[in-house]
Amino acid sequence: MPVLPVTRGTPEPAAQGATSDTVLRRRRIGPLAVGLLALAAALVAVCVLSLAVGANALPFGTVWQALTHYDPANPHHLVVVEKRLPRTLVGVTVGIGLAVAGVVMQGLTRNPLADPGLLGVNAGASLSVVVALSVFGVQGNAYLWFAFAGAALVTVAVYAVAGAAGRGGATPVTLVLAGAAVTAALTSVVTAILLTDQAALDQMRFWQVGALTARDFTVFWQTLPGITAGLVLAFAVSRGLNGLAMGEEVARSLGQKVGFVRALAALSVVLLCGSATAAAGPISFAGLIVAHLAARIAGPDHRWSVPYAALAGPVLLIGCDVLGRVVVRPGELQVGVVVAAVGAPLLVVLIRMRGKGRR
């Protein structure tokens, strides 16, 4: 009986497509990993600048000695360790919180212009701080807990309103509409309270502009658990956000639980943005800009855009904080003002580039 020769022909078209996709993904991993390393180096650089630059610039050698051989009797060491180090650490956590919350929020709503405050986080935190100052007379850093609680409660309320608005539950459209309505209502309440309470207005103005000034280790340790938990949830839900980006029907056909993914994403935004807003106040543009940059560099895969945002957010925030100390020395501009001044034209450039890319 003759033996037929084994032919080694070309693989099937489906196998060729799968192989080419795998090769393309592997080729893309290298540049993306290099980009993450570059951002990590940039983060280290801006943190060092944050420790060295201020009303009185300090040599890098003095900064290193303060970190490795701290001497409480040395005034330069006191400035580095007791003032600038906690301020820098808070800037890192706040930058991570706002940036990653922006990526998750845009993935949740499938809206590239979505901001973390779209769920009412900033409005809820602002109302809680005003109530804490005006009604309970809270002083010091105790209002941080009020800010976080208000952000969480209002976000839950927005999600509930959006879920009750239609048969399909909380959809991207209903979330945006409910968030805008609740934010407008709470903002009017905040304005009414501040107009009748001058003392609360004086304290509120400094928090509302967005600042890292006078933040100590207590603020850092209070916000770190929320930021950490929110970041873990953001990584866990990143694959689900990739499914939502293809549409709800496609996501369901792939076996995803759309409602569960949305709930986890919303919880991540609450933990990240709520903690960041409580620590530094409502800082505009940070989450929106970094989310745009992360999506432009890393592409639509949230498994890459989340870590890119987690590194780029602190780079932007701490860089703007250092810039604010330099431009009006010996005084300083608060970081919320600098981020808005830098972020507005940068956002216009990104939108124009996005528009040209679609032509």
Intra-chain end-to-end CA distance of the chain, in Å: 64
Which CA distances in Å does 265 have to 96, 103, 206, 258? 16, 10, 30, 11
Predicted pLDDT of residue 21: 45
Residue 268 lies in a domain: yes
Residues 314, 95 contacting (CB under 8 angstroms): yes
**106 domain residue, yes or no:** yes
Instruction: Give the range of the structural domain holding residue 260, as residue numbers without chain letter.
Output: 94-357
Separation CA 124–CA 146 (nearest Å): 10
Plot region of 16 (φ>0 → left; ψ -120 to 50 → alpha; else → beta): alpha
Domain-located, residue 80: no
The number of beta carbons lying within 10 Å of the beta carbon of residue 267 is 20
Q: 54 lies in a domain?
A: no
Are 226 and 93 contacting, i.e. CB atoms less than 8 angstroms apart?
A: no
The total number of residues shown for the chain amounts to 359
**pLDDT in the model for residue 55:** 82
Looking at the domain assignment, is residue 84 inside a domain?
A: no
pLDDT of amino acid 179: 87
CATH code of residue 235: 1.10.3470.10
In terms of Cβ atoms closer than 10 Å to its own Cβ (0-12, 13-18, 19+), residue 278 is: buried
Cite the DSSP H helix spans in the chain: 13-52, 60-68, 75-78, 85-109, 121-134, 143-164, 172-196, 198-208, 217-245, 248-253, 258-280, 286-298, 302-327, 335-357
Tell me, yes or no, whether 123 lies in a domain. yes
* Burial class of residue 234 in the structure, from the number of CB atoms within 10 Å of its CB (0-12 exposed, 13-18 middle, 19+ buried): buried
pLDDT confidence of residue 166: 63
Rg of the Cα atoms in the chain: 23
The string over 37-75, giving b where at least 16 C-beta atoms fall within 10 Å of a residue's C-beta and e elsewhere, is eebeebbeebbebbbbbbeeebeeebbebbeeeeeeeee
Confidence (pLDDT) at 15: 43
The pLDDT profile of the chain, 359 residues, written as one tens digit per residue, is 455 444 444 444 444 444 444 544 566 778 889 999 999 999 999 999 999 998 888 999 999 999 999 999 999 999 999 999 999 999 999 999 999 999 998 888 887 777 777 778 888 988 998 888 888 877 767 778 888 889 889 988 888 888 776 666 667 778 888 888 999 999 999 989 888 888 888 778 777 888 898 889 999 999 999 999 999 999 999 999 988 888 777 878 777 888 888 889 989 998 998 899 889 988 878 888 898 889 888 888 899 999 999 999 999 999 999 999 999 888 889 999 999 898 888 878 877 776 665 55
The verdict on residue 32 lying in a domain is: no
Number of structural domains, the chain? 1
Counting Cα atoms < 13 Å in the Cβ hemisphere of 347 gives 18
* Cα 28 to Cα 277: distance, rounded to the nearest angstrom: 35
- Residue whose C-alpha is closest to residue 307's, from 119, 93, 32: 32
Residue 307 tokens, joined: 């870590």
The torsion defined by the Cα of 46, 151, 262 and 297, in degrees rounded to 10, comes to: -20
Distance of CA 339 to the CA centre of its chain: 13
- Domain assignment present for residue 8? The answer is no
